[in-house]
Amino acid sequence: MAKLFLAIVWLAAASVVGAMVATVYELKRSRPPAPQPISIERTPARQNHNPWARWSLTEHRSAHNMLVAHVETVHLDEAVAIAQQITGPVKTRYEEVLIYFHRPGRPDTLPPRRVQWTLKSGYVETVYE
């Protein structure tokens, strides 16, 4: 009788552990939340690169319905996706947005990439390196 009781307890414990493993697996394999657009007007005109962020908006200026921004990131291949996050909330206020992408610390004299957004042309990426 004791062996039967131990077998039932062991099966119950194994079931609980299996359910926990399945839950952790499902949580880890689910997609990360989609990045939300930022409001560029809420950020200071100049700020330092955040080494813990995937990308940092370090500088921006606007005049005559045009916005120029500088971003520092290691992930230069994601320039268009980052530009979409930045321009999303401000498309109605600007006719043109230019975003220059630099490596952290700006070791290059010129930015390696630029993304230009206009209502007419959409997003146009220029690779300078």
Instruction: Answer whether residue 117 is part of any domain.
Output: yes
Q: Are 128 and 114 in contact (CB under 8 A)?
A: yes
> Which residue range forms the structural domain that includes residue 26?
1-30
DSSP the chain: -HHHHHHHHHHHHHHHHHHHHHHHHHHHHSPPPPPPPP-GGGS-SB----TTSSEEEEEEEEETTEEEEEEEES-GGGHHHHHHHHHGGGTTT-SEEEEEEE-TT--SSS-SEEEEEETTTEEEEEE--
Whether residues 68 and 108 fall in one domain: yes
Q: Are residues 48 and 89 in the same domain?
A: yes
Write down the residue that tokens 């007007």 correspond to: 41
Over residues 40-63, mean pLDDT: 78
The predicted model scores a pTM of 0.66
Query: Which range scores top for mean pLDDT: 8-17, 30-39, 88-97, 100-109?
Result: 88-97
Q: What is the mean pLDDT of the chain?
A: 84
- State residue 32's pLDDT score: 57
Whether the predicted pLDDT of 40 surpasses 60: yes
Digit-coded pLDDT (tens) for 11-25: 888 888 888 888 877
Confirm whether 119 is domain-assigned: yes
- Average pLDDT estimate for 66-94: 92
